[in-house]
Amino acid sequence: MDAAKIWSLNYNLLMSVISSVSPDISELGLDTKELFVLAQVEEHPYPAELAATLSMPKPTVTVYVKRLEAAGFLRREIDASDLRRHRLQVTPAGRKVTARGMALLSEAFGSRLGRLSASEQAELRGLLEKLS
């Protein structure tokens, strides 16, 4: 077994799916990394927590947050429970583009999964859950 080869195959698959929908995501006013940031904000509303979840440097997340805020997809609010912290909030426009962007990714990945039988898809899901 060559773990690096398996990792490489997985990475290539994911990057291929992302690349295939990047133009459509761009039409939504986002790049794919901004989409991934937006998709995690509701579950991880603090910038430092978001950076840790996405394995991104904090300054990078700050740049994305500023862009998303300028586009009207996100807003920063002072956290009422801790006035020193900013809490991120996805706007209705942000929810709309997130849903559409994630649907694009899902459709593209779904077409790849369609190459597998139903039992192979179930097996893959089980294996990925086990690895996660």
pLDDT digits (tens, 9 = 90+) for 37-71: 999 999 999 999 999 999 999 999 999 999 999 99
- Rounded mean pLDDT of the chain? 94
**Residue 108 pLDDT greater than 90, yes or no:** yes
Torsion, CA 61, CA 67, CA 69, CA 74, rounded to 10? -60
Q: Which residue has the higher pLDDT, 21 or 80?
A: 21
Burial of 90 (C-beta count, 10 Å sphere; 0-12/13-18/19+)? buried
The whole model's pTM is what? 0.86
Q: Where are the domains of the chain?
A: 3-131
pLDDT of residue 107: 96
Here the tokens at position 107 are 């459709």
How many C-alpha atoms does 8 have within 13 Å on its Cβ side?
A: 4
Task: Report the distance separating Cα 20 and Cα 105, nearest Å.
Answer: 9
3-131: CATH number: 1.10.10.10
